[in-house]
């Protein structure tokens, strides 16, 4: 397993660039999310000699130029400078906190109920089933036919190249949970876990978690890295052998 410093650096470097998004990288990274994912701009990886006010002013200017109305920023101990106090001063709202967890890929086995199964996503029908989970959980727009084909191409390309995979779990044969993983520098990043409300507490998330650890091991990862919400996945992760390495707080700032 990687050391503490490596884990925190890997957490800071973890940025999702969604299909259809836009990106600008200077001394910060700005990612514009597409409308199907709610829009807005995410700030991350702050490495600047300027003060927090100047960094944030430029981020707001770019956000407005994109025609977006909200910035979301997640704190990280590796940021220089820390934007959190300046965001709070400007009235940003604390919207969420996630815990950074890691564990050896080859570690404590995760028990899964017999009526829960997990499978690799590699067909268009499975992509449609994943969408039936993601849409209500993440409150996002359903994929159209073109989006389905693009999603399938992404999933199958990553799987074939050994860069990652998407997993779908079923409860008594019905799709109820999903999650993805990506291999980066010996880490398997576990992301996008979603479980339908009516299936929570029945082992579906554990099945998705266990399957992604198996995939990570097969693709050469030694450390599993995940960011879990304290109220939902964090207790499950702790019971599954993950160690808590710190928190990241999310702030939303309206810029209209």
Mean pLDDT of 144-165: 96
Contacts of 225 (CB under 8 A, 6+ apart): 7, 10, 11, 14, 100, 101, 102, 187, 188, 189, 190
Indicate if the pLDDT at residue 77 is higher than 90.
no
- Predicted TM-score (pTM) of the model is 0.84
Domains of the chain are 4-97+248-254 (3.40.630), 106-221 (3.40.630.30)
pLDDT band (50, 70, 90) for residue 126:
very high
Closest to 101 in 3D by CA, of 22, 164, 187: 187
Output the pLDDT for position 143. Answer: 95
Q: Give the per-residue pLDDT at 12.
A: 82
Q: What is the pLDDT of residue 103?
A: 97
pLDDT reported for residue 227: 93
The predicted pLDDT at position 52 comes to 96
pLDDT tens-digit readout, 83-106: 999 999 999 999 989 999 999 999
Determine contact, residues 34/143, Cβ cutoff 8 Å.
Answer: no
Q: Give the per-residue pLDDT at 232.
A: 82
pLDDT tens digits, residue range 207-255?
999 999 999 999 999 999 999 888 788 889 999 999 999 899 999 999 9
Chain segment 22-73, per-residue pLDDT in tens: 999 999 999 999 988 889 999 988 999 999 999 999 999 999 999 999 999 9
Q: Say if CB 253 and CB 87 are below 8 A apart.
A: yes
- In the block, which residue shows the tokens 């849409």? 135
Residue-wise pLDDT for 174-208, tens only, equals 999 999 999 999 999 999 999 999 999 999 999 99
Answer whether residue 171 shows pLDDT above 90: yes
- Give yes or no for residue 158 having a pLDDT over 90: yes
């Amino acid at each position: 397993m990687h050391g503490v410093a490596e884990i925190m650096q890997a957490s800071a470097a973890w940025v999702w660039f969604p299909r259809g998004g836009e990106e600008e990288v200077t001394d910060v990274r700005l990612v514009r999310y597409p409308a199907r994912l709610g829009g807005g701009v995410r700030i991350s990886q702050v490495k600047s000699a300027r003060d927090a006010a100047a960094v944030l002013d430029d981020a707001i200017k770019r956000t407005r130029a994109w025609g977006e109305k909200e910035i979301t920023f997640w704190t990280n101990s590796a940021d220089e400078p820390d934007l959190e106090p300046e965001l709070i001063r400007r009235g940003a709202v604390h919207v969420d906190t996630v815990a950074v967890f890691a564990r050896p890929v080859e570690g404590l086995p995760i028990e899964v109920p017999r009526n829960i199964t997990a499978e690799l996503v590699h067909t268009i029908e499975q992509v449609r089933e994943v969408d039936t989970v993601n849409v209500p959980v993440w409150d996002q727009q359903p994929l159209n036919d073109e989006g389905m084909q693009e999603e399938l191409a992404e999933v199958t390309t990553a799987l074939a190249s050994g860069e990652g995979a998407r997993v779908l779990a079923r409860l008594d044969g019905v799709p109820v949970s999903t999650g993805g993983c990506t291999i980066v520098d010996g880490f398997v990043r576990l992301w996008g876990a979603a479980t339908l409300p009516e299936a929570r507490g029945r082992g579906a998330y554990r099945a998705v978690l266990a399957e992604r650890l198996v995939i990570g091991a097969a693709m050469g990862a030694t450390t599993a890295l995940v960011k879990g919400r304290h109220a939902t996945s964090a207790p499950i992760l702790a019971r599954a052998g993950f160690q808590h390495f710190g928190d990241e707080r999310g702030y939303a700032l309206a810029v209209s």
